[in-house]
Structure 1
Amino acid sequence: MEKSTTFKWHNKIWFVVLVLSFGWLFLHYAYFTVNADDNIFIFLGHRFATTSNFHGSSHYRLPFNKDIHFAREEPQYDRPPVTNVNTLLPEKKDENVRDHVQSLDTMVNEKRHENGRGSFENVNTIEYEKKRANGIKKHRHRHRKVLPKKNHEVENVGMFRNVSKENHFSKDNNKVDLVGAKSTAKKHEGMKNGDIVTSKHPCAGRYIYVHEIPSRFNEDMLKNCASLNKWTNMCDFTSNLGLGPVIEDSTSVFLKRGWFKTSQFLLEVIFHNRMTQYKCLTKDSTIASAIYVPYYAGLDVSRYLWFSNASMKDADSLDLVKWLREKPEWRKMWGRDHFMVAGRITWDFRRIKRDSEDWGNQLLVLPETKNMTVLVIEKSPWANNDFAIPYPTYFHPSRVDQVFSWLRKMRKQKRPYLFCFAGAPRPGREDSIRGHLFNQCRIAEKKCKLLECQVREESKCHQPAYVMEVFQSSEFCLQPPGDSYTRRSIFDSILAGCIPVFFHPGSAYIQYLWHLPKDYTTYSVFISEKDVQDGKVSIEKILSEIPKAKVRYMRAEIIKLIPSIIYTDPRFRLDAVEDAFDVTIKRVLERVDKLRKGVDSSLRVKEELTWKHSLSGIVGEQKWDSFFVKKAG
């Protein structure tokens, strides 16, 4: 009797065990069938192949690299939502699926290439992802709600001392701290509830690393601002982060705010401070697409330009390139991903002979800087390592509405004069046409506004209100070469909505191709300086014959250019407007990317033909060949 009772009890136990086992298997099968679609066997094979995070894991760990993760698309309320593919149009679905599969194929091929063999172990995860992507449009997540996407704002880092050095992904405001960020195949990884979040980041391909160079190459110069120029005390101009003293507008020429008495030679300081507002700074140089060197090259050389001691003029630039050569970042591309700003004209940095007493230093002829991208306010037509960016103007807005207010003001501005000229004569230069311009302006009487600048410091040309008033009152502004091809006045006139008239193609057309249209006829007038010298043309006649409709069109184009030729106040960020800094950074990153890929065609062109290639991509015979027969400087 006792034995029969025991047997029945054992049967009950086994029955319970069997029921629970089948129940567990049924629930497990139902779970994976819903979440893995047709790929349950591949999915289960991968899950058992990996031993970490089996339950509740939101990531798949690839066996060949423990640092690479793929996120499962499961809803988590505290992470940015994934767009439901089923809500997209059919064409968009196919595009998303195709892009996802192609990216996975690329990763497989890259890993095979790294391992040096035709295959690698355990690629189940990637195969699963590919199959799941191809079948994702069947019925996946139809019952799930798609929350609205949030914009990810990237916190400024790199230049700020109070930024945390730890990676974090803030749940409160979706700001991403890029200090020390790691990246795999240009993807950003952040921490979220203890898990790694891998997603395509808006800064991918745009990260910039800033070298922390010794302070004697930048900050110390500003501390000794009185010695920066032999003729002028620069201390006032270095105030307000390089913008100079605030202009108090009492003549209604300017707006109430955003205007400063800015020196044309403080661009390095303005650019450096503007870099602190760049969204994609990083402390990790390994993920940087470009590397910025905040060397104040123009301020450095300006201290010694009028001295004959060659070693004194070259000392700091030689020390800087030596410092750069010893850095691991330099050896990555031997400086081809490095860039810096030299806030003077290129001829101040191109002394050919090492020990001569000629003008300038040797910064731009050093082997190291020939690999770099150097930004100057005037470039050489016969070199491929310097690039011209706009001179700083007087306008540095801190708010977007200031920009739009100024554009409206220039559109409505009354212009009683046909043309104007503001400048000083060049009696000592036989090739200068300025004397001819003065004469033609005087002959035109009431049609030309003349502002003749004197050498003395109190000249009206050194007072921004007088200069801008002349430009605002005229349809056209004459812009002949100065001591070199370019002059700051070009950008002051554009800022005033005045159509520039150029007499040499080296003044703008081969210079500012990043910021001005290649089709110069849309925003300017060209009159050959040779025709002016020979007395063959009347400037008044040429300008008065331009149809009024064409003048209105050209002015509209000029006003459109204004945001891209100004530098906004470095203490503020104007995300709705791309200024000269934004345009410059984009083009620098594009150039470095081409150099990295080996597709920069400009390097295959002889340097003396660089201006032709930059202008039209053609190095054959051109109409402006006679303007560039010999090198200047």
Structure 2
Amino acid sequence: MGILMLKTSVFTRADRHFFPLLSLFVLFVVCFLLFLSKSSYIHLPYSSFTRSILSDTSKPCTGRYIYVYELPDKFNSDIIRDCRNLLPWHHMCPFVSNMGLGPRVNYTGSVLTQTGWHFTNQWVLDFIFHNRMKQYECLTVNSSQANAIFVPYYAGLDTGRHLWNHNVTVRDSLLVELFNLLRSRPEWSAKGGRDHFILSGRTTWDFRRQGNDGDLWGGKLLTLPEVKNMTVLLIESCPWGSENEFAIPYPTNFHPSRKSQVLTWQEKVRLSTRPWLFSFAGARRPEQVHSIRDQVADQCLNSTQCKLLDCASPSRDIDCNSPITTMSLFQISNFCLEPPGDSPTRRSVFDAMLAGCIPVFFNPHSAYTQYKWYLPTNYTEYSVYIPEEDVRDGRVSIEEVLLKYSEEQIGEMREKVISLIPALIYKDPSHKIGSVRDAFDVAIDGVLERVKLRH
């Protein structure tokens, strides 16, 4: 990490012709600074570094340095090695392969593009994000130089494997040990954790347990006083009064390794023929009194303009976890219905938008109060909102609402959705795509800006 990656080409032909002595001098200065430097640059191009010296502009990493704790393996790597126990009903080991992206989709058919697709589990974001962080270009080994400090504890995976354990001591043991460690570190003492950030690939509701009753749901990460000073990234934040929580996208199945893969996919969904006005992919929730899933499914079934993908169907031909299944539906739909599931947000929102499908929301906390770093504040640019009370009480026809949109309006909204795709996906951590800013890049910008404002 302490190595500066240099390109051999530094100056143009004109530079070498007119400024040979200056070139030699600059090379000497760079080498000398590299020898003296205590900071760590990851893959910073030599030409960019040299140009910054010649033009006397700010260094590319100024204000963007991140220090990453080197925690004992028990807080991250060992959790991945224990993949068989990550979820009690699901074999998760295949999904931690390929740096957390999961198995590659080898047969894409005509539905997907040929490369960049994986079977990705939504709960593995802790691992994916950490692997992306290892590729971040402004890492530093000097914590006093850092603008922000990342704690690579896999909070979501750790808590997730113990959620059904009624022994809260076991459920909280690693978390308690982590904060005992952090409080002993000079990096924490310097600012009381105000420059620290942590991530979980689960929702806020999994970390808000009050008390030590084993029948209560969740862990207690978000109830710790120390965490109030930190910035916390989650796939769903609490929309009421939690100023330190920020929602970032659920991982989809698309993880490009080149810019061309992103552009090819955007063009594919832009040109898709969409015979269905709207569609719904999901399962009913008959046991949830306040859920509108049943009403949404019924309205879809009763409409000749809607296609339903029943994810609770016992049919072996339906696999809602397959990107081919979901993308084949979303690509032929103009609008995708996104009612709340177990919580207001759902991964389907990002799968749908990845396919260029315009999301229809029924609860403002499904997106509008959540992904403020990622989605336009004017939600009418990219989505439709229908209050869930109107659907529950039978006061509104979803079909009639959507039929009011003209082809021109639908085209404009779809184009907006397609333009958002790069920032809603997570790139392949094993590659660098410098010109494509993904969900990780947007999150880092948000963290750095928040830490800066709090100093």
The counterpart of 1:341, out of the listed 196, 199, 202, is: 199
Contact 1:178 1:280 in 2 (8 A): no
What number of residue pairs does the alignment pair up?
425
The question of 1:385 aligning with 2:264 is answered no
Please name the residue that 2:26 is paired with. Answer: none
Matched ranges for 1:463-542 at <5 A? 463-542=322-401
2:166 is aligned to: 308
CA pair 457-337 structure 1, distance change in 2 beyond 3 A: farther
In structure 1, list runs of 5 or more residues that go unmatched: 1-77, 82-143, 151-167, 184-190, 597-633
* CA distance in 1 between partners of 2:208 and 2:11 (Å): 52
Matched, 1:354 2:212: yes
Partner of 1:216: 74
> Alignment partner for residue 225 of structure 2, among 355, 359, 367?
367
Greater C-alpha radius of gyration? 1
Q: Which amino acid aligns with 1:301?
A: T
Is the alpha carbon distance of 1:443 and 1:182 closer, same or farther for their aligned partners in structure 2, counting shifts above 3 Å? closer
Give the letter for the 2:82 counterpart: N
How far does residue 79 in structure 1 lie from its aligned partner after superposition? 9.3
Q: How many Å apart are 1:385 and its aligned residue?
A: 1.9
Q: Distance in 1 between matches of 2:178 and 2:210?
A: 19
Equivalent-residue separation in structure 2 for 1:406 and 1:486 (angstroms):
25
Q: Select the residue among 274, 277, 280 that pairs with 1:418.
A: 277
Larger RCO (CA within 8 A; separation ≥ 6): 2
Q: Deviations over 1:356-391 (max 9, x none)?
A: 520001011101111111110000112122110000
1:103-142 mapped onto 2 (5 Å cutoff): none
Instruction: Name the CA distance, whole Å, in 2 between partners of 1:366 and 1:452.
Output: 40
Match of 1:200, as an amino acid? S
In the alignment, the residues of structure 1 paired with residue 275 and residue 452 of structure 2 have an alpha-carbon distance, to the nearest angstrom, of 48
Q: Residues 555-594 of structure 1 correspond to what in structure 2 (within 5 A)?
A: 555-594=414-453
TM-score normalised per structure 2: 0.88
- Aligned with 2:412: secondary structure? helix
Say yes or no: does 1:231 pair with 2:89.
yes
Q: Secondary structure at the match of 2:153?
A: coil
Q: Name the SS of the counterpart of 2:413 in structure 1.
A: helix
Amino acid at match of 2:319: K
Post-superposition CA distance 1:453-512 (Å, at most 9, x none): 117695421222111111111000000000001000000000000000000000000000
Amino acid at match of 1:224: D
Which residue is 1:449 aligned to?
307
How far apart in 1 are the matches of 2:309 and 2:159? 31
Q: By how many angstroms is 1:346 displaced?
A: 0.7
Q: What's the secondary structure of 2:94's corresponding residue?
A: coil
Structure-1-length-normalised TM-score: 0.64
Contact 1:413–1:472, Cα closer than 8 Å, also in 2: yes
- After superposition, the C-alpha distances for 1:434-466 in whole angstroms (9 at most, x for unaligned) are 111111111112x11100011769542122211
Give the secondary-structure state (helix, strand or coil) at the position aligned to 2:307.
strand
Cα distance change, pair 281–426 in 1 and its aligned pair in 2 (3 A): same
Q: Distance in 2 between matches of 1:261 and 1:456?
A: 21
Q: 1:462 aligns with which of 311, 321, 332?
A: 321
One-letter amino acid matched to 1:510: T
Shift of 1:284: 0.4
Identity %: 50
Structure 2 residue runs without a partner (length 5+)? 1-8, 24-28, 42-48
Q: CA deviation at 1:200?
A: 3.0
User: Displacement, 1:309?
Assistant: 1.2
How far, CA to CA, are the matches of 2:31 and 2:297 in structure 1? Answer: 63
Matched, 1:329 2:182: no
Asked if 1:282 corresponds to 2:140, the answer is yes
- Say which SS state the counterpart of residue 486 (structure 1) adopts: coil
Match of residue 39, structure 2, among 171, 174, 181: 181
Q: Which residue of 1 aligns with 2:45?
A: none
Per-residue CA deviations over 1:67-92 (Å, capped at 9, x if unaligned) read xxxxxxxxxxx9989xxxxxxxxxxx
Q: Distance in 2 between matches of 1:498 and 1:211?
A: 40
Aligned counterpart for 1:409 among listed residues 265, 268, 284: 268
CA displacement 1:72-123 (0-9 Å, x = unmatched): xxxxxx9989xxxxxxxxxxxxxxxxxxxxxxxxxxxxxxxxxxxxxxxxxx
1:237-252 to 2 correspondences below 5 Å = 237-252=95-110
Alpha-carbon distance between aligned partners in 2 of 1:170 and 1:538, rounded to the nearest angstrom: 69
Per-residue Cα deviation, 1:332-352 (whole angstroms, up to 9, x for no partner): 110010011111011111101
* CA distance in 2 between partners of 1:457 and 1:290 (Å): 49
Q: Distance in 2 between matches of 1:305 and 1:176?
A: 48
CA distance in structure 2 between the partners assigned to 1:79 and 1:463 by the alignment: 47
Q: CA deviation at 1:180?
A: 2.6
Separation in structure 2 between the aligned mates of residue 396 and residue 490 of structure 1, nearest angstrom? 17
C-alpha RMSD of the superposition: 2.7
* SS of match in other structure, 2:165: coil
Partner of 1:435: 294
- Does the Cα contact within 8 Å between 2:292 and 2:339 map onto a contact in 1? yes
Q: Tell me if structure 2 keeps the 8 A contact 1:178–1:281.
A: no
Counterpart of 2:384, as a letter, is V
